[in-house]
Structure formats: C-alpha cells, structure tokens
Amino acid sequence: MHKILVNELISPNVGKMVVTAEYVAKHRKAGQFIILRTNERGERIPLTIADSDPQNGTITLMYQIVGKTTTDLSLMKAGDEIADIAGPLGHPTDIRNYGTVVCVGGGIGVAPIYPIVTAMKKAGNRVITIIGARTKHLLILENELSKVSDEIIPCTDDGSYARKAFVTEILSEIIAREKIDMVVAIGPVPMMKAVANMTKEKAIHTMVSLNSIMVDGTGMCGGCRVTVGGEKKFTCVDGPEFDGHKVDFDELTTRLGAYCDDEKISMEKHHCKLEGVTGHGR
C-alpha cells in the first residue's frame, strides 16, 4: 500500500498527488511513468511521474479528472492509501547536452514536460519552455517551470492570460530568431503533429510523448501499439517517447477516437478514458 501525503487540485480539472513509492522514487528518470490501482478492484491507469524525492521515498503525480478512476483519485485524502503502484515504466527521455532545447507543453501535457525541462537544464542545455492551454485556469506549473527554464513563454487560446496564441505560433517565432538543436513536445495529438510537421521542414530533431491507449503497461495487451517509421511499436515498452518525424499521427488519432464517444475529448483533453481503458500518462 502507498500512503498519500498530499492530494490537491491545481486547476479545476487537474490534481496533484504526492504519494509514497520508495522504489520508484529512487529509480525513476525523466519521461517515465507508473501504473496504479486505487484499490484491489480498481482499473489500472498510467500516470507520468512529474517529480520524485528519493530521500523521502515519494513521487509526485498529476492527473486529469476525466473518468471514474481519476475522479476517485481526486476524492482521496492525505492519509488514504493506494493499493498498487508499478514502475518506473517506459524508456526515459534521452537526456544529453544538445545545446538549445525547446520544450513545448500543451494542456495537461505541461505536467510531463516539467521533469524533462529539469533534466535538460541539469545536463547543461539552454532550455526555452512554451506552455499553453485553452484558458487561464487550465494553465499549470508556470511558476515551477520558470525556475528551471532559461526562458518561459505562456500562452492561452482565448487570450485570458499572457499572450493569445497557440504554442506552435510561438515555436515558429523562436525557430525564426535562433538556432534550435532539439524540440520536445507533449500535449494533444494535433498539437504534437503540428509541431513535428513544423520542425521536420527545418530538420530539427523532435521527440514526442504519445498518449496511446494502455492497459497493462508491459507490452502484452497490444492496446498501445503505434506505427513509427513504418514499424509497429508498443508505447508502453518501446516509448512513450518517439521521433516525432516518424510517428503516424493519423493512425494514432483514429485509434484514440475508437475509444471515445466524442472526438473532442481526444483532441482537447489529450486523454481518452472509459472504464478499464485509459490513455497514457495524462
């Protein structure tokens, strides 16, 4: 059992939880995730590890409230216990000194961007972070990211906070003004696709973290399969990060849509969830 130390809402539909998980805290790296069950009868859902404290044996998780299990998570209190946490899972981000790295987070994708920005900065990179959301109250982690970024540019679709723009508009301006060595993009599939298309034209290496449907997290169920460079891959064991220029985003969109009654859920919330089925890490 894993004790919850903190569980709070950081926006109307995003929760932040600090929970004990000693092994994961000691071994996790940026880009990896866990799978949890709230109780022995609960479904398995994957969540990105936003942060960890190896000394105290805790990890920080962020979750978007979109289905039964994430709603149940939001109702749990400090002192409550989570039945199972498995991880760390997936390949970690390829962290090295690239030079100038732009990290782009859209919506709940800002949460998994945070540990990557932190690691990229520690590796000696100059890190520019772009974060965006539909409206002000959905924009998360600006203060935390500002402490580990050389430059941070927030934006909102409706102009309710900071600049009214899409993250791709700002990325285009940055590419035009200076040499970029690496881009990391995490967010809704259309956003990641647009970023990858833009950087492909400029031959800028780009990594994306995919939100394929995932059940077991070990490559056995096949639910998270994606096509990358013409080959079938499993997001849980081969990813979750892939070369954005090689991902078949159209196929990914179709597969996500198969699990959603409303395509808008997949597009806008970057998470498609039914009872027993969940999208990775968001």
Per-residue model confidence as pLDDT tens digits over 154-166:
999 999 999 999 9
Q: Which whole number is the average pLDDT over 44-70?
A: 93
Q: Which CATH number fits domain 2-89: 2.40.30.10, 3.10.20.600, 2.40.50.110, 3.40.50.300?
A: 2.40.30.10
Domain 100-271: state its class: alpha beta
The domain segmentation of the chain, as residue ranges, is: 2-89, 100-271
Beta strands 213-214 and 151-156, pairing class: unpaired
Q: Name the nearest CA neighbour of 74 among 91, 56, 61, 59.
A: 61
pTM above 0.85, yes or no: yes
Q: Please write the tens of the pLDDT for every residue from 165-194.
A: 999 999 999 999 999 999 999 999 999 999
For residue 131, pLDDT over 90 is answered with yes
Gap between the Cα atoms of 190 and 194, Å rounded: 6
Q: Which residue has the higher pLDDT, 143 or 259?
A: 143
pLDDT value at residue 259: 64
Give the chain's radius of gyration (CA, Å): 17
Q: Which whole number is the average pLDDT over 115-138?
A: 96
Q: Please write the tens of the pLDDT for every residue from 238-261.
A: 999 999 999 999 999 888 877 654
For residue 214, pLDDT over 90 is answered with no
Percent of the chain residues topping a pLDDT of 90: 78
pLDDT value at residue 12: 85
Residues 6+ apart with CB under 8 A from 9: 15, 16, 74
Q: Which whole number is the average pLDDT over 84-93?
A: 94
